[in-house]
Amino acid sequence: MPKGLYWDTEDPYHYIRTTLIDGDAEHELLVIGGEDHRTGQKEHPEESFASLEQWSRQMFPVISDFTYRWSGQIMETIDGLAFIGHDPGHGKNVFVATGDSGMGMTHGTIAGMLISDLIVGNENPWTELYNPSRKPVAAALEYIAENANTGWQYTDYLRPADIKSSADIPCGEGAVIRNGAEIIAVYQDQCGKTIQCGAKCPHLGGIVRWNSVEKSWDCPAHGSRFTATGKVINGPANSNLRPLPEGTGADQEIKTTELPPMPPGDSGIEPPATP
Ligand code: FES
């Protein structure tokens, strides 16, 4: 395969490149990615891997095996360009570079050039393009749809009970249960020990959902993620889920995997990004 990084324009998109293997000078690994979806909003996250494998076998029939699998998170801005420049919330001497949309290497380089110009007062033609305060008119509809999607995630507070007992949660899995007004994230570890936390995300109160592939609690509102035992691993939340003593849970469960339809105009899929 020719050296390079290639991606298609499908939605969700796919990308491929090769990488070296430690201690093997003769072979390389083919890295295949894509099937992006919003954090916490994929009903069966394992399906993303299945789709990716199916796509890979179609494109490269020679593939015999998949050596590794992984997933990660990227921050998408509404118009796909990073926020690089003055931090709008912290005065003129604080600068920010974020919202890389999967293009961290490129944006990191641009940030080094642009922010140094801003600090010393040089003009830079990219200032407005990456201005964190910009309001891209062309992306207004996307902005509205994204906000509608986020608001929709709070309907989790109204979801009915689904399974009868938290004892039905298999080892190594989690589920959200109700105990009166309390909504609880319950994880049964591999030894059968039950670990319980408040299911309310400490950021802005979204209800976390169990991610059966990565064994994490993911917030569908703005993408915060927590370990199975409730420790924060991805912001915007900056604290853990509230730990609860054992026995707090009752025998009801809200269905966290069957999602209602998205608000009109939002597929729930992130726009394509450069890997
Ligand atoms: S409410 Fe959970 S990330 Fe914002």
Q: Are 178 and 169 in contact (CB under 8 A)?
A: no
pTM score above 0.85: no
198 and 166 co-located in one domain:
yes
Q: Is residue 264 part of a domain?
A: no
Split into its structural domains, the chain has a count of 3
Strands 95-98 and 252-253: unpaired
**Same domain, yes or no, for 145 and 164?**
no
Distance 240 CA to ligand 1 centre (A): 12
What distance lies between CA 60 and its chain's CA centroid?
28
Task: Mark whether 166 and 240 lie in a shared domain.
Answer: yes
Atom of ligand 1 nearest to the CA of 223: 3
Going from the Cα of 237 to the center of ligand 1, the distance in angstroms, rounded, reads 6
Q: In this structure, are 130 and 171 located in the same domain?
A: no
- Rounded CA-CA distance 211/38 in Å is 12
- The structure tokens listed for 194 are 């039950």
Residue 227 resides in a domain = yes
pLDDT digits (tens, 9 = 90+) for 43-71: 788 889 999 999 999 999 999 889 999 88
pLDDT at 138: 67
Nearest C-alpha to atom 3 of ligand 1 is from which residue? 222
Distance CA 192, CA 187 (A): 9
Domain extent at residue 182: 160-253
- Nearest atom in ligand 1 to 201's CA: 2
In a domain, 70, yes or no: no
Distance 209 CA to ligand 1 centre (A): 11
Among 153, 218, 219, 240, residue to substitute to test ligand 1 (most atoms within 8 Å of Cβ):
219
In a domain, 263, yes or no: no
Tell me the CA–centroid distance for residue 207 and ligand 1, in Å.
8
Of 154, 169, 185, which residue is a domain's last? Answer: 154
Task: Please give the helix or strand (H or E) that residue 146 lies within, else none.
Answer: helix 140-152
Does pLDDT of 73 surpass 50? yes
Q: Do 192 and 169 belong together in one domain?
A: yes
Q: Does the pLDDT of residue 270 top 50, yes or no?
A: no
pLDDT for position 176: 87
Give backbone dihedrals phi and psi of 218, rounded to 5 degrees, phi first: -120, 135
Distance 76 CA to ligand 1 centre (A): 15
Peptide bond into 12 cis (omega under 30): yes
- For ligand 1, the distance from its centroid to the CA atom of residue 155, given in whole angstroms, is 13
Angle at alpha carbon of residue 250, lines to 44 and 201, rounded to 5°:
55
Q: Which atom of ligand 1 is found nearest the CA of 206?
A: 1
| Residues 166 and 248 both lie in one domain | yes
Is residue 69 in a domain?
A: no
Mean pLDDT of 69-98: 88
Phi, psi of 227 (to 5 degrees): -65, 170
In tens, the pLDDT along 218-248 reads: 999 889 999 999 999 988 899 999 998 766 5
- What's 216's domain CATH number? 2.102.10.10
- Whether residue 148 is found in the same domain as residue 169: no
Q: Is 204 in the pocket of ligand 1 (CB under 6 A)?
A: yes
For ligand 1, say whether the CB of 145 is within 6 Å of any of its atoms. Answer: no
User: What dihedral do alpha carbons 127, 132, 136, 141 form, nearest 10°?
Assistant: 160
Which strand (E) or helix (H) includes residue 234? strand 232-234
186 within 8 A of 177, measured Cβ to Cβ: yes
